[in-house]
């Protein structure tokens, strides 16, 4: 007797094999084995002529989905069928969520087993959990399958109905999505707020005070501090480390200097940032506050300088803080982004790996519940590592408030009945750091409350009132293990403490320093991945398990750029959002999308019927199909491609090669490209005028080259500012150019700097081992040195501060070239499937890596997946360059049919760029034509971007 167990991934299969007897065979399905068709060539010949075939859903026959098996899954399906022939029992052990339930159901439909079938579920991969799951198998939950299928059909209807409309009206290759479009609108709305923001300025005073000098021998200010109130570590066991044990004088010690801030003048509140109206830059109407300018602040300072200070009030307020609940999918993504600077996709990739290797429980969950086993394990850790005084008096039990919480039945926590400390796991790198985060959060959830005392001290000098705020940690409790937003709890505890001297009302502190301080109000912060995830979850939009892929799609599609952890929407995002808000407001409304999510949850529980809901949503009087037919003729493509920004006289238009300005001048319309790094919120009238003037009057001349006498110009192109030697003429069509180093403002460029930049690439000398030349140059990703051996290849290294591309020597370059090459991004720890060689411009080593969705190549921030039918053996460096160029063009919101060459510098000419783009466009277009038999089919291919498939159609039972 033998049993076949099917899971999703090879890693999961390898781990589970260790926990099962030898008569169990564990195989992987590699994710979904069936899906809706994602290209025209996947549609079976029998239905290719049907109107609904491109949609993949027969809307005329009860929304029957057309399921097909992709080419790359046929071999896997055959292997599973062969394995089933020798089995006497089949166990479907996919993940315990909707996707996992759906995968099991699809396997059942394809394999058609004639042996007994069981559905095994578990939320952690440990010996005990797997053995226990074997004894508690169940049937497939068809209601959960139906909910997942309804969600998949709904997403297909939205994406495949709206995306073609965007191609026609704005730009080819764009996409719309049920949750994606709402998320993009949130980014755009925040950027609109930043544009509408008007800065306000205000002044106040800041004083540095010290306690009154005590008589000699009488002791410091802390002599009269009651026992147990003064030190944060009074009740902390020896060796456990109180928060203020090593705190320097003035922060944790009594008697040190402390700060006081002006809050009132003549009993009138002094204005601060919260008193300003963001839309006017002035004080909020009706608010009675005193707004000080610089002159008034300095006059007040002079008036009270050297006057006596008096303590007028002292208030101590005890505060108790409880630990946060254990992680859910959403909160893990948020904290990993804040603490570890990991993106949502990277967090989920690492968590998936930790789960499959048996380190943590299932990572897609909305629940904060901990099992009794987990609570016991966490409390044991607290007892052993921190002592009984740090243990909460009673076990803490958390419940999930969200109605829709359903993915798994427990929070994300370390796996097993005993928790391995991070040091005991043998993990390293980001695996260790993420496990450490999960371990700390879980253990802290069973720890005692933190007890703090907040202190407010009011002082008066003349008619000016000042406030000082302090915080004393009386007992750190759970903060000893976990402080949100900090990797080091001990350091965070110290940072949180602000100990004020033990003063009393009537005391006369001494003013050691008094200064006037100017402030400016700040615009609303852009969304980070963490704050966007938090917003989506709070609004009930989408499922937390899908947020990582949604944010990834937004960036991949060119709707946002991820810069220093901020998601910055592009001009394309503005155009698409405006079109959807104007013509399909419900689809980008968070309330409407949240209600859709609730209905999908109700389908999973049997409270709602899937077919009437889909029919009303798509074919009803106000259904999506009806709306698109009515609105398409009313949408003016020229208007749709135009982004209207207040205070900007020129129009911002979306073109084939990106966003550009268009303005009417006496000589006619003038167009100018907008640099790719210029965001909608930062485009101001001065920049607009500079870009247009550069087009009409020519570039700004910096001076003459000291050797050639040619003029040197400073210009701004699509890729940012650059310097140019000489003018473009018939005989000099490609004058020498060089980008400005990153962070250099064009207004700060001197003639000497420009001359030096134009010497790049600099020949430093020859390599002593090869005799080949060594150069220093400035590339797309910054300065670098290169060892150029011609046909043998080029070896590159980045130049980092304090080295300078303009002054680096041959000896230093040789030192850099002798160092091991670092691979960018997350691929640095991955083993490549194939090494292709160095990028001809940036010098970065290009490799093929094995990703979650198949092989891909990476260059800088760009990941490009190989075609599903691409042979790894025949995949060359040139193919990789073409693939990356196409992905970069599509990612910039441009047609993915047109492949734009990757540029070394911002300085490449617009003409050359267009020629290069056109040449590569032809190649890409041919590939697109081959892959799809009609323009519509090709467009569907882009919109779907899902797992490819080929084969069988099945109706849900």
334-348 average pLDDT score? 92
What's the pLDDT band for 106 if we cut at 50, 70, 90?
A: very high
Percent of the chain predicted with pLDDT > 70:
83
pLDDT exceeds cutoff 70 at 558: yes
288-308 average pLDDT score? 96
- Is the model more confident about 821 or about 775? 775
pLDDT exceeds cutoff 90 at 407: no
What residues does 57 pair with on adjacent strands?
A: 65
pLDDT exceeds cutoff 90 at 638: yes
- Is the model more confident about 639 or about 744? 639
802: cis peptide before it, omega within 30°? yes
pLDDT exceeds cutoff 90 at 316: yes
pLDDT value for 695: 77
Average pLDDT score, the chain: 83
638-657 average pLDDT score? 89
pLDDT value for 827: 38
545-564 average pLDDT score? 90
pLDDT value for 493: 62
- The answer to pTM > 0.75 is no
User: 243 to each of 69, 235, 246, 502, 949, how far by Cα in Å?
Assistant: 59, 11, 8, 18, 58
pLDDT exceeds cutoff 60 at 912: no
73-82 average pLDDT score? 94
Give the number of other Cβ atoms within 10 Å of residue 502's Cβ.
20
CA 106, CA 97: separation in Å to the nearest integer? 14
What's the pLDDT band for 184 if we cut at 50, 70, 90?
A: very high
pLDDT value for 944: 38
Do 559 and 186 touch, CB atoms closer than 8 A? no
- Of 24, 362, 547, 781, the active-site residue reads 362
What's the pLDDT band for 781 if we cut at 50, 70, 90?
A: confident
Give the number of other Cβ atoms within 10 Å of residue 609's Cβ.
14
pLDDT value for 932: 37
What's the pLDDT band for 928 if we cut at 50, 70, 90?
A: very low
pLDDT value for 252: 40
- What are the tens digits of pLDDT across the range 211-246? 987 544 444 444 434 333 333 334 333 333 333 333
pLDDT value for 436: 95
881-885 average pLDDT score? 80
Is 362 catalytic? The answer is: yes
Written in H, E and C, the secondary structure of 789-808 is CHHHCEEEEECCCCCCCCCC
CA 549, CA 533: separation in Å to the nearest integer? 11
359-376 average pLDDT score? 93
CA 84, CA 5: separation in Å to the nearest integer? 10
pLDDT value for 363: 92
Structure tokens at 9: 């991934």
501-530 average pLDDT score? 94
What's the pLDDT band for 873 if we cut at 50, 70, 90?
A: low
761: cis peptide before it, omega within 30°? yes
pLDDT exceeds cutoff 80 at 124: yes
N-to-C CA span, the chain: 31
753-777 average pLDDT score? 90
pLDDT exceeds cutoff 50 at 37: yes
- Is the model more confident about 93 or about 682? 93
289-311 average pLDDT score? 96
pLDDT exceeds cutoff 70 at 76: yes
- What are the tens digits of pLDDT across the range 697-740? 777 778 888 888 888 888 777 667 888 888 777 777 888 888 88
């Amino acid at each position: 007797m033998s049993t076949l167990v099917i899971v999703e991934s090879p890693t999961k299969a390898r781990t589970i094999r260790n926990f099962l007897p030898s008569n169990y065979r564990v195989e992987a399905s590699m994710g979904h084995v069936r899906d809706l068709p994602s290209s025209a060539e996947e549609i079976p010949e029998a239905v290719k002529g049907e109107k609904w075939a491109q949609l993949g859903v027969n809307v005329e026959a009860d929304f029957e989905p057309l399921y097909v098996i992709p080419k790359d899954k046929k071999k896997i399906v055959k292997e599973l069928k062969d394995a089933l022939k020798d089995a006497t029992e089949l166990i479907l052990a996919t993940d315990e969520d909707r996707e996992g339930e759906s995968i099991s159901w699809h396997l059942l439909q394809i394999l058609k087993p004639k042996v007994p079938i069981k559905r095994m579920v578990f939320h952690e991969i440990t010996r005990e959990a797997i053995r226990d799951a074997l004894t508690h198998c169940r049937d497939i939950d068809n209601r959960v399958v139906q909910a997942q299928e309804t969600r998949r059909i709904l997403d297909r209807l939205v994406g495949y109905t709206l995306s073609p409309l965007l191609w026609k009206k704005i730009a080819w290759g764009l996409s719309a999505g049920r949750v994606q479009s709402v998320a993009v609108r949130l980014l755009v709305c925040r950027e609109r707020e930043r544009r509408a923001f008007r800065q306000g300025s205000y002044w106040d005073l800041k004083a540095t005070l010290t306690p009154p000098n005590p008589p000699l021998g009488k002791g410091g200010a802390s002599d009269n501090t009651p026992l147990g109130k003064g030190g944060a570590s009074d009740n902390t066991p020896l060796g456990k480390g109180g928060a203020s044990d090593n705190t320097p004088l003035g922060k944790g010690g009594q008697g040190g200097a402390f700060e006081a801030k002006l809050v009132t003048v003549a009993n009138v509140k002094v204005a601060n940032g919260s008193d300003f109206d963001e839309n006017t830059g002035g004080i909020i109407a009706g608010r009675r506050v005193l707004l000080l300018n610089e002159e008034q602040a300095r006059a007040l300072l002079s008036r009270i300088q050297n006057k006596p200070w008096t303590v007028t009030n002292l208030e101590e307020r005890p505060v108790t803080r409880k630990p946060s609940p254990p992680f859910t999918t959403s909160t893990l993504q948020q904290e990993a982004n804040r603490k570890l600077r990991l993106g949502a996709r990277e967090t989920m990739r690492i968590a998936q790996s930790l789960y499959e290797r048996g380190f943590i429980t299932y990572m897609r969950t909305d629940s904060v519940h901990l099992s009794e086993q987990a609570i016991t394990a966490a409390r044991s850790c607290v007892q052993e590592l921190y002592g009984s005084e740090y243990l909460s008096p009673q076990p803490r039990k958390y419940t999930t408030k969200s109605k829709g919480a359903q993915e798994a039945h427990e929070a994300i926590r370390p796996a097993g009945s005993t928790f391995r400390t991070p040091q005991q796991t043998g993990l390293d790198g980001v695996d260790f750091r993420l496990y450490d985060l999960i371990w700390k959060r879980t253990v802290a959830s069973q720890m005692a409350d933190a007890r703090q005392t907040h202190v407010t001290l009011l002082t008066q000098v003349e008619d000016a009132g000042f406030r000082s705020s302090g915080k004393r940690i009386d007992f750190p409790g759970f903060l000893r293990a976990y402080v949100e937003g900090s990797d080091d709890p001990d350091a965070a505890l110290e940072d949180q403490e602000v100990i004020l001297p033990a003063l009393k009302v009537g005391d006369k502190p001494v003013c050691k320093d008094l200064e006037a301080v100017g402030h400016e109000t700040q615009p609303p912060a852009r969304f980070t991945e963490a704050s966007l995830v938090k917003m989506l979850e709070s609004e009930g939009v989408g499922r937390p398990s899908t947020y990582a892929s949604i944010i990834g799609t937004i960036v991949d599609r060119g709707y946002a750029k991820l810069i220093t952890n901020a998601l910055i929407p592009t001009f394309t995002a503005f155009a698409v959002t405006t079109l959807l808000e104007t013509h399909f407001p419900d689809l980008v409304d968070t309330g409407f999308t949240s209600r859709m999510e609730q209905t999908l949850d109700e389908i999973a529980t049997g409270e709602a019927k899937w077919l009437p809901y889909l029919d009303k949503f798509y074919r009803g009087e106000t259904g999506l199909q009806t709306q698109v037919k009515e609105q398409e003729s009313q949408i003016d493509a020229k208007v749709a491609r135009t982004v209207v920004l207040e205070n900007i006289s020129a129009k911002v238009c979306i073109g084939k090669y990106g966003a550009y300005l268009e303005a009417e001048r006496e000589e006619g319309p003038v167009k100018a490209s907008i640099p790719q790094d210029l965001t909608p919120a930062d485009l101001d009238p001065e920049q607009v005028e500079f870009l247009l003037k550069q087009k009409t009057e020519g570039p700004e001349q910096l001076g003459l080259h000291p050797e050639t006498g040619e003029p040197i110009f400073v210009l701004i192109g699509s890729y940012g500012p650059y310097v140019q030697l000489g003018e473009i003429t018939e005989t000099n069509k490609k004058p020498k150019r060089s980008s400005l180093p990153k962070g250099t403002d064009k207004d700060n460029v001197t003639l000497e700097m420009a001359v030096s930049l134009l010497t790049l690439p600099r020949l430093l000398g020859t390599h002593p081992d090869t005799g080949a030349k060594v150069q220093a140059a400035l590339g797309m990703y910054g300065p670098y040195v290169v060892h150029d051996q011609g046909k043998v290849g080029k070896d590159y290294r980045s130049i980092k501060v304090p080295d300078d591309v303009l002054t680096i020597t041959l000896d230093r370059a040789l030192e850099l070239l002798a160092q091991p090459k670092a691979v960018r991004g997350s691929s640095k720890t991955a083993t490549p499937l194939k090494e292709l060689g160095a990028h001809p411009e940036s010098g970065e080593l290009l490799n093929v890596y094995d990703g979650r969705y198949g092989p891909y190549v990476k260059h800088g921030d760009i990941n490009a997946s190989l075609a599903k039918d691409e042979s790894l053996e025949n995949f060359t460096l040139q193919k990789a360059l073409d693939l990356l160029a196409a992905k970069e063009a599509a990612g910039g919101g441009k047609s993915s049919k047109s492949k734009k060459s990757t540029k070394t510098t911002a300085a490449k000419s617009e003409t050359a760029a267009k020629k290069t783009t056109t040449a590569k466009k032809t190649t890409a277009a041919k590939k697109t034509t081959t892959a799809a038999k009609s323009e519509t089919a090709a467009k569907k291919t882009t919109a779907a971007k899902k797992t490819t498939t080929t084969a069988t159609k099945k109706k849900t039972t």
